[in-house]
Structure formats: C-alpha cells, structure tokens
Structure 1
Amino acid sequence: MTLPTTSTHVTFPAGAVDGSSTVLAVLPLPDGRHGVVTEATPFHPLDHTWPDQPADTGTLDGRPVLDCVTGAVSPEGEFFLGAEIPVRRGEEDWAWLAVHVTEEPVAVGATVELRVDADRRAALCASHTGCHLLALALNAALASRWRKDPGRSDALGHPDFDSLAMDSSRMDTAASTDVYRIGKSLRKKGFTADDLAADLPALTTAVNEQLAAWVAADAAVRVEAPGPELTARRRWSCDLPEGPASIFCGGTHLSHLGQLAALTTELRLSEDGTELTAVTSPKRL
C-alpha cells in the first residue's frame, strides 16, 4: 500500500462544508471499517493532541462518514491513527492526514464528493466560538484577583487565567465545558482564590453581561491560516469592541457573532475550591 507523503489540505478553516477531491489511500482499520484519505477535505478531524472539538460527520460520495480522525505517516513510512500517534501534531518530516471513516471502501484514484453535516458543523462552530469568548470574558472578570503579573496576558491585555489554569476543554453541539485547576502552581503565579465561592454569583453575572454585549456587537469572526495544510498553525480572530482578539485554534467557528441569539455560561466551583468549571451554551438564531 502506498501511503501519502504530504499532509492533507483542509478547507474547513474558511467555512467550507463540501468539495471534491482525489482518493489517495484507503486504509483497513482494526474494527473492519475503512479509513479514506483524500488530497483535500472540508472535514474537520479530531485532533489527537488536543481533542477539544469532535470530528465532523457527513458523506463521501453518498457513503456515510462516521468519524474523521487525524492520521500520521512517519518519515520511515509507518502509519499511525489517532491516539496511537507517538508525536505531537505538526512534527516535521511527518505527513498529517484527515482520515474519513466509512463502512465501505472506495477506489484509490477516484474523485469523490465530500459533504459535511452542515447543521452539526454550525452547532460545533457556535460552541467553539463561545468557548473562546468565555475565555476572554472570564479573564477580564478575574483580573483583579492577580496579586502580580503572571507573565502571560490575553489579546485584550488581561492576565490569561484561561491559559494558565486550563485543565481540559471539550465541546459538543450544545455547549463547551472548560475545567480550570486552581492549585499551588496558579497561586504561586499570583492568583488568589480567597472568597471565590462567595463571589461566584457576581463573577457569573459579570461574565454573562460581557458575553451578551459581545453578541450584541455582532463582531466579525475569522480563522486565519498561513497555509492549507492540516497542520498549519491557525488563529481564531474576532474584532471585538475592545479591540481585535486572537487565540491559536485548529477548530471551526462562526463568521460573526450575530449568528447567535444569546451566549451564557454557568460557573461551578468544586467543594474544595480547586476546580472551576464553566459550561457555556450558545443559542443560535
């Protein structure tokens, strides 16, 4: 079997949900299904390094695409799939692939039509954009809790609690769930969690007021990509009233905040005060 030696070109950063491409390889998967690799694709695959956004589903020449997974081919020509990949995404001299999982195989060399489930994609875009807005709003609301400069600020100039405390981030079609660890290392950087439980209602109100203001502003959103490769280091950018904001991100997003009717978050603090969870729910128009 001849494996691709160049990375898949992706069109999802520009919002594409369909396209045609040539099949480069069809790989037998351990569960009996098939991994179809095309030269280019609009499908967003699950990232094995930071699996925050689920994979797109849809069809490939009418066949259901049940999943889309990141694959990689080493310089020695060995193929790895998903969690089996032994290096971080973007490792030099590796080929990085979007692998479409289907029940039926297709012919190598065939030109196929790829169609993403557009409504599911739109819901994931709303959750992912909401996740980034939550990060910026939470950073602003917690800015007064830093006793000293932690050495990292977000695009709006606030101490980057989201980045410094992030433990996990996951999204689905209904919401994003971000879990933050408030431990000794964060406190050493200058964050104080004193009376955080008592302040949680006011903190939640402040964050939700900021989110509502940003949605009302209908700011433009875009994904900036330096190239078409799956591994290109892309940025989410949003022209907020306070100024342009950007966050490195490999996912998919809305094109403007006016596509939302509302965006709200629920903040929960663990009993021992060491874990803050934010569940951010977008409501689409």
Structure 2
Amino acid sequence: MGLPDTDTIVTYPAGDLRAEARVLAVAPHGDRLAVITDRTSVHPVDAAWPDQPADAGVLRLGAREYAIRDAVVAATDGGELHVGALPVRPGTEGWSFLVAHLLDADADVHEGDEVELEADAATRRALSIGHTACHAASLALNRALAGRWSKAAREDALGSPDFDGIAIASSQIQPSASVDRYRLNKSLRRAGFDATGLADGLGELAASVDATLAEWVGADARVRIERVGDDLTDRRTWVCELPHASARIPCGGTHVDSLGELGAVRVSFTVEDDGGTPVLEMTTRAAASA
C-alpha cells in the first residue's frame, strides 16, 4: 500500500456533493474497509473538534455502489496509517492528513481505482442547517450574557465577551439542531463571569437569544465559507454578513448559504450538575425542513 504524502483535497466546503477521485490506499479498519482517495466531497468527522457527524453517502465504482458507513480523518508520516485516533495534531509538519471513507469489509475496491463519491443531499442539508444555527445562536448567547462580565474578556466575532468560546465544554451538531454545553466553573468566575441567578432566569435568557436570532434570520444574513486552500487541513472560516457587522468564526463544517434558510430558530436552556460544577446546556432548533 502506497500511502499519500499530501493531504486529501476536499470539495465539500464549496458545497459540492459529488467528486471524481482516484483510490490512493485501502486498509482494513476494524470490521470496515478504510478507502483513501486523492479528493472527496464527503465531510468527515473532524479529528480536533468532532462536533459535526460525517456525511452519509456512496462510493461508486463502475456499476457497483457501496454505502459509506462513516468518514473519519486519518494521518500518516509515510509509515503506519492512523485512522480516527490520530497521534499528532492535524497540520503537524511531516504528516499527511486524509479522509478515510469506511465501507463494508467485503467492498471490492482497490488502490488505483477511479471512483465517484457522492454525499447524501438531505443529510448534508440537515447538518448544515444545524451547524449554521449553532454558530448564530452562540453569537446571540454571547450578546445576551454580555452584562454578566465584570472584567474585560476575550471578544467574539461581534465584539461581545466570548462566553461561548471561553466556557464551551462540548458541541454536538444534529439534523437542524445543536446542543452546546458550558461549564460554569471557578475558572469562569475568576475570569469575571457572574452566574448568580442564571438558573432562575433561563426563560428570559432564551427570549433574549431568540429575539436576536429572529432579527438576523429576518435579515436573511448571507453565509459563506472562506478558505486559504483546498487541502483537508487548510484553514476555513465561517463568514456571516449580519446587520451592521460581519461575523467570522473558524470552522471546518458545512453550512447553508443564508440565515433565512433556517426558518424560525429557537433555543432552550437547562442547568445541570456535573460533579459539583453547574453546566449550562443550550439546545438550538431550526424550523427549516431539511
């Protein structure tokens, strides 16, 4: 097996669903077959921040069609191929970072084959809606919580204290939805955030976030992905032209073209205890049909 010495070229940031590709390597991975191609339109689970699930899709080889069961990031330094669990950070010099398409183990695919990859359009759109709504909600949440900071804090893309970026513990993108969890711990309090009474005012917090989202969705703010190159590890940025400001957030996921496509967006909050640390959970749902 000849392992590639360059990153996979990815076309999904431009919205592509299909890609013609050449198989560079094939390797067993558990009960699956990992197929590495020179390019792909299939979004994989990100190795560094695995918030968005992989695209569903198919790999076609002549008249044969194989379901892509998952897509994950792989890496090699020319020796062993590491699939899923990487020994180094993406972008590390001397390593190639690749998209591994996981097929059933009996798939008859071999190095050198010319194939077509196609991501499922409905799955892509549903996850793109969820991811775009997640970014917009995070910015609206930062705005709603801005008055709770007593010290200067790192600012978000719109100039509000970046509660989302500072307190985030996990983010999960779902079809037309997302779930974000924030730890209200001692470090956050030392940074100047006052969580006093927050749990008693979750309805008011949701109403504030919803109002901001309604304004932005009503303005049909345009969304695009800027990228410095087409390699898997090249930096990509979510850009949203909101009223009176342009928001920019580093992001490797997929998105719709405008906030107007989300339909009505609503958030809800809960506060839970995690080993003595309060955790604020925000669930965001977009009304748009996938």
Which category of TM-score, normalised to the shorter sequence, fits these structures? Answer: over 0.9
1:185 corresponding residue in structure 2: 187
Pairing 1:58–2:60 present: no
Among candidates 64, 67, 72, match of residue 69 of structure 1: 72
What 5-or-longer segments of structure 1 have no aligned partner?
none
2:87 corresponding residue in structure 1: 86
2:47 corresponding residue in structure 1: 48
The whole-number CA distance in structure 1 between the counterparts of 2:244 and 2:266 is: 19
1:245 corresponding residue in structure 2: 247
SS for the counterpart of 2:263 is strand
Structure-1-length-normalised TM-score:
0.96
CA deviations 1:69-90 (Å, max 9, x no partner) are 100002x52211112x111111
2:21 corresponding residue in structure 1: 21
SS for the counterpart of 1:131 is helix
2:129 corresponding residue in structure 1: 126
1:279 corresponding residue in structure 2: 283
TM-superposed deviation, 1:136: 0.2
SS for the counterpart of 1:71 is strand
Taking the TM superposition and a 5 Å limit, the aligned residue runs for 1:132-143 are: 132-143=135-146
CA deviations 1:21-57 (Å, max 9, x no partner) are 11111111222x2111111100111112211000111
TM-superposed deviation, 1:174: 4.0
Contact 1:169-1:177 within 8 A present in 2 as well = yes
Pairing 1:171–2:170 present: no
Count matched residues. 281
The whole-number CA distance in structure 2 between the counterparts of 1:283 and 1:196 is: 27
Distance change in 2, residues 1:141/1:194 (3 Å)? same
Amino acid at match of 1:109: G
Q: Could you say what the CA RMSD is over the residues aligned between the two structures, in angstroms?
A: 1.2
Structure 1 stretch 240-249 or stretch 267-276: which is displaced more? 267-276
Structure-2-length-normalised TM-score:
0.94
Amino acid at match of 1:163: G
1:231 corresponding residue in structure 2: 233
Contact 2:128-2:176 within 8 A present in 1 as well = no
SS for the counterpart of 1:230 is coil
Pairing 1:255–2:254 present: no
Contact 1:197-1:273 within 8 A present in 2 as well = no
The whole-number CA distance in structure 2 between the counterparts of 1:229 and 1:27 is: 22
SS for the counterpart of 2:214 is helix
| Identical columns (%) | 47
